[in-house]
Amino acid sequence: MQTLIFTGPFGSNALATALTAAAAAAVDARVLMVSVGPSHPLATLVGKAPLPEPQALAPKLDLWCLEPLAGLNTIWEELRPSGGPALVGDELPIVPGIDIFLAITQLAKLAQGYDLVCLDAGPPEVLLRALGIPDSFRWLVRLLIGLDRGPGRSSASVTQAVIPTALLPIPGEWIGGVQEARAALERLRDAMVAPAATQVRYVLPPDRAGLAEARLNIAAFQLFGLAVERLIAGPLLPVGTPGLSALVDEQTAMISEAGTIWHGRPVYSMAATPMPLAVEQLTTLGTQLYGQASPLPNPPPPPPITMRPPPDAAIMLDLPGVPREALGLTLSGDELIVRIGPYRRHLLLPEGLRGMTAIRAARQGEQLVISQRK
């Protein structure tokens, strides 16, 4: 099973999701369209009430309106430290982005039997906040009690922690459970973003503001390890629309510029259309959207993040289209904090770079290479 995540500003994701899913089902793939609440625009698009369970729209096409927070209890029971407070999932605070994070991690278990899952993930900022949850948890655990296992393990962080674990009036197994939960959360995220399992199709508004935002968002997805496979520009005004020739000219220019910025990724044009749409209409429009190309995912690309081991240790980040002025780097202990516009990622340094105070960053095409300054 593979997952395609559709995300972009201004709410055009549902249309791109539905057209792709219908076109993929038409080429004999077993496809599940997934909408994540609260409003479930996919259901509105096909004229259905929200569907709490997968329901067939066509012989190989199902729709599911997933309420991810309903699975919070299950995930919490898997991660909850033993010996600690007897909290249930419904008592936990709702961290921004946790619903999307839970949805994507649950799909690996709940969508078995499908060849392809097409997920409408909503606005990019929500998904990007979700991808940063494990990093935030790691930062908090390192600050309070240090990291004694899993990714980022460091005896120095334990001795420098704000609260020495020997002084905490709670069982030692609970502290160990917190450490295991933190490592498990990172493993969940890493499995979720693996290119063989999940890729992104970015829905690009065809105007100057949309293009500027996409240059930050697409690079940010790559920074979190989630590969952006293709772009879908739209919804587009028809050529020759009376009184709107300037807007039509702008969207044509923006599509051309997007093809130049992300030259290794196809840009498809999606026309505006009234809603709701029947499955037959979705299939026709989806086939037109992709033309001679397959709507199915491309073969998995190389991971956007590559760690090179010693003796020539380095981090290679594939950050296509990111403006130089939007990129920032900060070294913080065993972590490299990478900033792209409003987004930040705390990356663990590989062996060979940890403990270094002198590193260098160099742009090599679309890659940013961080290595030791010699």
One domain for residues 124 and 216: yes
- The CATH number of the domain holding residue 338 is 2.60.40.790
> End of a domain among 290, 315, 348?
290
One domain for residues 335 and 233: no
Average pLDDT over residues 338-342: 95
One domain for residues 251 and 334: no
55 located within any domain = yes
Range of the domain at 244: 2-132+192-290
Give yes or no for residue 102 having a pLDDT over 80: no
Q: What percent of the chain has pLDDT over 90?
A: 48
One domain for residues 286 and 315: no
One domain for residues 24 and 125: yes
- The CATH number of the domain holding residue 18 is 3.40.50.300
- What residues form DSSP beta bridges with 3? 117, 198
Average pLDDT over residues 78-90: 57
One domain for residues 43 and 123: yes
The residue that leads in pLDDT, 47 or 243, is: 47
One domain for residues 16 and 118: yes
One domain for residues 206 and 350: no
For residue 126, what pLDDT is reported? Answer: 87
Give yes or no for residue 95 having a pLDDT over 80: no
H/E/C letters for each residue in the chain? CEEEEEECHHHCHHHHHHHHHHHHHHCCCCEEEEEECCCCHHHHHCCCCCCCCCEEEECCEEEEEECHHHHHHHHHHHHCCCCCCCCCHHHCCCCCCHHHHHHHHHHHHHCCCCCEEEEECCCHHHHHHHHCHHHHHHHHHHHHCCCCCCCCCCHHHHHCCCCCHHHCCCCHHHHHHHHHHHHHHHHHHHHHHCCCCEEEEEEECCCHHHHHHHHHHHHHHHHCCCCEEEEEEEEECCCCCCCCHHHHHHHHHHHHHHHHHCCCCCEEEEECCCCCCCHHHHHHHHHHHHCCCCCCCCCCCCCCEEEECCCCCEEEEECCCCCHHHEEEEEECCEEEEEECCEEEEEECCCCCCCCCCEEEEEECCEEEEEECC
What is the spatial distance between Cα 131 and Cα 95, in angstroms, rounded to a whole number? 12
- Biggest alpha carbon–alpha carbon distance for the chain: 74
Give yes or no for residue 372 having a pLDDT over 70: yes
pLDDT in tens, 113-124: 899 999 999 899
245 located within any domain = yes
For residue 81, what pLDDT is reported? Answer: 56
pLDDT in tens, 174-227: 778 788 888 888 888 888 899 999 999 999 998 999 999 999 999 999 999 999
One domain for residues 281 and 309: no
Closest CA to 348 of 332, 324, 362, 329: 332
pLDDT in tens, 35-71: 887 778 899 899 888 888 899 999 999 999 887 666 5
93 located within any domain = yes
Number of domains in the chain: 2
11 located within any domain = yes
162 located within any domain = no
For residue 322, what pLDDT is reported? Answer: 95
Average pLDDT over residues 118-138: 91
The residue that leads in pLDDT, 166 or 12, is: 12
For residue 304, what pLDDT is reported? Answer: 96
Assess contact for 71 and 53: CB atoms under 8 A. no
One domain for residues 7 and 70: yes
CA 308, 309, 313 angle in degrees (round to 5)?
70
Give yes or no for residue 79 having a pLDDT over 60: no
Strands 55-58 and 267-271, by their bridges, are unpaired
295 located within any domain = no
Give yes or no for residue 75 having a pLDDT over 70: no
Assess contact for 31 and 118: CB atoms under 8 A. yes
One domain for residues 283 and 335: no
Assess contact for 11 and 42: CB atoms under 8 A. no
Assess contact for 150 and 137: CB atoms under 8 A. no
For residue 9, what pLDDT is reported? Answer: 81
Q: Residue 329: which pLDDT band, with cuts at 50, 70 and 90?
A: very high
What is the spatial distance between Cα 256 and Cα 206, in angstroms, rounded to a whole number? 10
Give yes or no for residue 85 having a pLDDT over 70: no
Inter-CA distances, 349 with 84, 237, 331, 360, 366, Å: 31, 46, 9, 13, 20
The residue that leads in pLDDT, 85 or 158, is: 158
Q: What percent of the chain has pLDDT over 70?
A: 90
Give yes or no for residue 327 having a pLDDT over 80: yes
One domain for residues 314 and 279: no
The residue that leads in pLDDT, 203 or 163, is: 203
Give yes or no for residue 361 having a pLDDT over 80: yes
141 located within any domain = no
pLDDT in tens, 10-26: 778 999 999 999 999 99
104 located within any domain = yes
Write phi, then psi, for 289 (nearest 5 degrees): -60, -45
Mean pLDDT, the chain, rounded, equals 87
Alpha-carbon 294 to chain mean position = 22
> End of a domain among 231, 256, 290?
290
For residue 275, what pLDDT is reported? Answer: 84
> End of a domain among 222, 257, 290?
290
pTM of the model: 0.90
